[in-house]
Structure 1
Amino acid sequence: MTIAHDQSREQMKAELEDSERLQAISLELIKDGRPQAVYETILDGAAAIMRSQFASLQMLDADRGAAGELRLLSHRGFSDEAAQFWHWVSMDRASTCALALRTGRRVVVSDVETAAFMQGTADLAHYRQSGIRAVQTTPLHSRVGTLIGMLSTHWAHVHRPKERELRLLDVLARQAADLIEREKTETALRASEERLRTAVEVGGLGLWDWNVLTGEVHWSDEYFRMLGYGVDEVTPSYENWSARIHPDDRAETEALLQHAREARTEFVTEFRTLHPNGAVRWLHGRGRFFYDQGGQAIRMVGAMTDTTERRQWEDRQKALVAELQHRTRNLMAVVRAVAETTARRAKDLPDFSAHFRSRLSALARVQGLLSRLANQQRVTFDELLRAELAAVDADMGRVRLDGPSGVKLRSSTVQTLTMALHELANNAVKYGALGQAGAALSVRWHVEAGQDQKLWLHIDWHESGVRMAPATGAGEGIGHGRELIERALPYQLEARTSFALGPDGLRCTISMPVSELNMAR
């Protein structure tokens, strides 16, 4: 009786110590929120309750492998090699935790040397190498019954745990399962928040969250920057938002916000902001109000994007469309004029076709030059001149070009000047310096400021050594070219021109205003 009484008293003492230990562990889990520290507290408690020399805690990664794999979170007593070997455990391994993963039930092996499913496996070799002789693994389940991990204890000798110890371990396992489930939830939440933060940064979104009742507002970092504030430079508020709206847009934007609140509709608008440095930015805002049961607005959340570049692109596109329409009208007028003049002077239909096709080709070349230009770029005179000489296959050995390169022409003058240069070059090949042996062509040009404060381009086209034909000294081509230079250029380009047929060739001068972009020269 005395021995039994002593054993009973020792058992009660052990149970009391274990209960106190579980209570202390619970307090420690609440007090220390660091995952690794909490894992270690659980393992210390498991090893103490089970009187084991080793312990391990694993979490199930359901997305890894075909049926999920167990990842080692923490351990007690493993060598580095053993910890590396059991860092990931799949269902087809020969450990107790792999068997518990397959069955979903607790596995107890009192002697690894006699466990049939371990014989001849790498797991048994590592048990031996680590000095482990007996193992138990208890599955950890979430509150809804989903397997989420394993809690194992290991002994250095043959051992079978008592039922009382396993019942206490189950209490600790419940706490471990809750901890792992919480950690998985927090990890998923952190990953979700990181994805959201990345999406917000990549998307250039500025977010706001407004407590309408208290006036408290939260702005994301990008929202501060969109309004021209440094991050945390001011306390987020309705007033600080309104203060940065452009004065011309403020009343309308605030009215739209108030309407969305009262009508319970989505707030969608685009407005300008005015930054302290004078910069104006366009912002597109979209948000919605939330209401209590009484219909009172209590909260508003929304997002903003910077649409300044899109607005600038739209403005550029409108300007380009307007320019295209203007050029098209001008081009049609030029084509009509060329067609009428060519038809009036043509001898017959083949003659009309040849001259008209040649002049349309000149127009096509200049349109090609204009279409390749970016904003603020201009066709240059030397580029245009060389293109027309190349088009008539001029022998450049007999041509002297003398003038500055890169003289920018007004876009509105390029088509008409092209036609004039085309006529001069074409006639030089047919009747003048580029079609007769021994003749030569000199083209000189320079830019100077006129009395009207405009920049003027002066062009001197001089042919020499030409054997002039008797009487008119020219054909239809010179007549059309002369008409273009003496009448069209002064009328359309405000040019001053001269056209003279000398005894040994043509002398033509053209003075015309050019782009103010040449001021930098």
Structure 2
Amino acid sequence: MTKESLDNPKAGPAAAKVENTGPREANNGLSSPSYDTADRDHVDGALRGSEERLRLALEIGGLASWDWHIASGKVVWNDRHFLQQGYAVGEVLPSYQAWLDRLHPDDRDETVALIEAARDGRSTFHHEFRALWPDGSIHWRAARGRFFYDESGAPVRMIGVAEDITEQKLAVQRMAASEARLRLALEAGRMAPFEWSLDDALPPLSDDLRRRVDFGDAGARLEEGRTRHHPDDAALLNKTRQRALDGDDTFADFEFRRLTADAQVRWLQVRSEIVRDNLGRPRKLVGVQLDVTEQRENEERLRLLMLEVDHRAKNLLFVVQSMVSLAKAGDLETYRQALLGRIESLSRAHQLLAESRWSGGDLRQLLTEELGPYGLGDNGHIKLDGPPISLPARHAQALALCLHELATNAAKYGALSVDEGVLTVRWRSSHGQLELSWIERGGAPVVAPKRSGFGGTLLKRSLQPFGGRVELHWAELGLSAQITLPLQANPDPEPDPA
């Protein structure tokens, strides 16, 4: 129904029938008593007092009021009604149209429809809507009104009150904005709200965290959730709860484990404040809950890495010590050159492993680094043949020393000492073992050494801690070496000092 239908209702007379209040004949034949002047003055005084009390009540309550006589279109506003709509008191003649002019355009259809529904349904009108002031500011109002009808059922009057609720609305908006910022902060920090009633033996799981990680049925709260706490944390959680109950701490921070729906372990960290009742008794922990599984795993990897670095350093120092103590040479310069060559070989292997984050060393690349200075790839002087194989880090270091000794010997006395010489290196993986063949041809005549020098000793000992071995064959055509080495790392091999 439109504004015109509200101003000019079709049903019923224009105004309610007003009964004559003078003397009249009653059904029993007696006349009702007439009121003298004093009685009327008393009634008028009482009426004025009642009106004054109503005005004061509206003023104290900050309420605007209206009285709309529908047939005549006459509307009565109190002063606050003017002010709530952005009018100065008396600025306009109160009317339905004057009220409609200040109703926010986006709220008009809904508000008018609700007024019509209240009128037709003989119900109370109750609605919140916005007033748009001339300066562009928006003010929220909460209104309640009631229609009155004549004897025929036609609406003739509507009376109501309205309250300015702008501050309440702004407070709600500010609260919503604050909650949104908090939510964003929690999401950015991978945190979730946490609350643990100390009446419960075990801490619950935040619904927010449950949505991020599949911990199982979202309806499983404390009772079912207890089975998902890691059994090894029961004593820790009980101690944390008891300390909060018995102590005078302000904060409680702790970590515990939960099992996911697929039985994976997740580490959860809680940072909370102990909330107490009026008597100072601790009632609950309130704070945030974080999934720190990745952090815990990184810490464990770092711990293992430190152990690994320590062990590698110990092995490396042992190798260097062995090279220094076993090396023999006729003069100091020869000794120095031999020692530097072996250390450089270790350095190349170390660099290769560092580039792979010590996850392993590629065999072909290891050979390329060691044989590159001798013309790898030039006129078929050196041939490499084998599939991609990754060696455990410790094995790669040991094998690098072996390859260095073989290459150094070939450059001094074997196939790499003459232009016509050819070195072929073939390898394969068989039953979890590396099988590598080092074959020299076309070099100087080969003579087996009468005694084993440091190079031979190093070849024999380097691979032993890892279950490997080196077999040397001094043939007239050239030196051949067969190397076998497991492709899986031993748990913790120790170097053999003997």
TM-score over 0.5 (shorter chain): yes
CA positional deviation for 1:261: 1.5
**2:454 counterpart (465, 473, 480):** 480
CA contact (8 A) 2:228 2:259 kept: yes
1:300 to 285, 288, 292: 285
Residues 300, 463 of structure 1: alpha-carbon distance in 2 compared, 3 angstrom cutoff: closer
Matched, 1:333 2:315: no
Check the 8 A contact 1:224/1:231 in 2, yes or no. no
Give yes or no for the alignment of 1:363 onto 2:349: no
Task: Return the TM-score normalized by structure 2.
Answer: 0.64
Shift of 1:328: 0.3
CA distance 1:87–1:348, change in 2 (3 Å): farther
Deviations 1:321-356 (A, max 9, x none): 1110111000000111111222xx211111111111
Query: Which residue number corresponds to residue 470 of structure 2?
Result: 497
Write the mapping of 1:320-399 to structure 2, written as runs, cut at 5 A: 320-342=305-327, 345-374=328-357, 377-394=359-376, 396-399=378-381
What is the DSSP-based 3-state SS (H/G/I as helix, E as strand, rest coil) of the residue aligned with 1:434? helix
Indicate the SS of the match to 1:50: coil
Does the CA contact (< 8 Å) of 1:261 and 1:289 recur in 2?
A: no
* Residue in structure 2 matched with residue 427 of structure 1 by the alignment: 409
Aligned to 1:200: 186
Deviation at 1:251, TM superposition (A): 3.1
Match of residue 247 from structure 2: 263
Alignment partner, residue 75 of structure 1 = 132
1:413 aligns with 2:388: no
Out of 484, 487, 498, the position equivalent to 1:514 is 487
Tell me the matched-pair count.
Answer: 373
Structure 1 Cα separation of the partners of residues 204 and 136 of structure 2:
42
Higher relative contact order (CA 8 A, sep 6+): 2
Residue 50 of structure 1 and its aligned partner are, at CA, apart by 3.0
1:468 counterpart residue number: 445
Q: After the TM superposition, which parts of structure 1 deviate over 6 Å for at least 4 consecutive aligned residues?
A: 18-25, 44-49, 148-151, 473-476
- Could you list the runs of 5+ residues in structure 2 that have no partner in the other structure? 1-47, 67-80, 105-129, 142-160, 491-498
Letter of the 2:440 counterpart: E
Q: Hey, what's the Cα distance between the residues in 1 that align with 2:192 and 2:401?
A: 55
1:66-112 CA distances to partner (integer Å, 9 max, x unpaired)? xxxxxxx8537x8xxxxxxx658xxxxxxxxxxxxxxxxxxxxxxxx
Contact 1:264 1:289 in 2 (8 A): no
Q: In 2 relative to 1, CA 508–403 (structure 1 residues): closer, same or farther, beyond 3 Å?
A: same
Letter in 1 for 2:350: Q
Q: What is the letter of the counterpart of residue 85 of structure 2?
A: L
Identity of aligned residues (%): 26
Counterpart of 1:283 in 2: which secondary structure?
Answer: strand
Superimposed CA distance per residue, residues 249-268 of structure 1 (whole angstroms, 9 cap, x where no aligned partner): 12321232122122132322
Q: Which amino acid aligns with 2:399?
A: L
Matches within 5 A, 1:452-463: 455-463=432-440
Q: Determine the C-alpha separation between the residues in 2 that align with 1:232 and 1:49.
A: 60
2:417 partner amino acid: G
Matched residue of 1:317: which SS? helix
**Alignment match, 1:448:** 430
Residue identity in the other structure for 1:448: S
Give, in angstroms, the shift of residue 370 of structure 1. 1.6
1:190 aligns with 2:176: yes
Q: 1:291 to 1:482 in 2, by over 3 A?
A: closer
One-letter code aligned to 2:241: L
Q: Secondary structure at the match of 1:447?
A: strand
Select between 193-202 and 324-333 the one with higher mean Cα deviation.
193-202
- Work out the CA distance in 2 between the residues paired with 1:41 and 1:407: 87
Q: Secondary structure at the match of 1:351?
A: helix
